[in-house]
Amino acid sequence: MQNTLKNFVPSNALWQVLDLIKHDNLTVKIKNERKTRHGDYRTLPNNKHQITINTNLNQYRFLITLIHEIAHFEAYKAYGRFIKPHGVEWKRSFQHLMLPFLNPAVFPNDLLPLLAKHFKNPKATSDTDVKLALALKQFDEPNNKSYIFEVPLGVNFKTYNGRIFKKANKRVKRYECVEVNTGKLYLFNPNVEVELIPAKAGIS
């Protein structure tokens, strides 16, 4: 596992991470990209536990996601199976586990204030923290994707599953988008990544 994880987490975080996952009944697997999640945690038969993390995450998002899932494991051990998935027990576990990593030896200085704010009350996914998600994106491999909040009003875009939408009005936090083929209205979080459709190829 050491040889595997050294390719995915910041070098100064490796030994701390290895110590956290040093459990006989816990396995960590690296998976191909899943569009609907960065990682997950699940209990298996015979008191076994498994964490999976997407292989396409940059090292900082990978570390945050891995600690997120380890926090599920630790909360399960401490409080049992009947707690809320992202309730107060998980939040406390996540904060406690993440704190030693929040320093300039692990994260770039421009991320640390955003991380400090985020971990005052961590959410089910860091993707809902728009400022943090955008800051983390700068460390991704270049791609042709845009966030919903960057898409101009009335412009068509395509989601990961090929569906085409037109961006409409903003509500308090999310954006109304109309599916072109059906005319149905959907709400998108501002930092969902989508592919813009050039005007000449657009569908009105």
Whether residue 41 is found in the same domain as residue 109: yes
State mean pLDDT over 179-199. 91
What's the pLDDT tens digit per position in 4-24?
899 999 999 999 999 999 998
- Given the structure tokens 């990593």, which residue do they identify? 101
55 and 154 both lie in a single domain = no
Final residue belonging to a domain, choices 137, 162, 180: 137
**Do 87 and 174 fall within a single domain?**
no
pTM for this predicted structure: 0.86
Burial of 179 (0-12, 13-18, 19+ CB in 10 A): middle
Rounded CA-CA distance 41/81 in Å is: 12
For the segment 92-120, the average pLDDT, to the nearest whole number, is 97
Domain region containing 170: 145-201
Region 157-180: mean pLDDT is: 95
Pairing of strands 193-196, 145-147: antiparallel
User: With contact defined as beta carbons under 8 Å apart, do 82 and 76 qualify?
Assistant: no
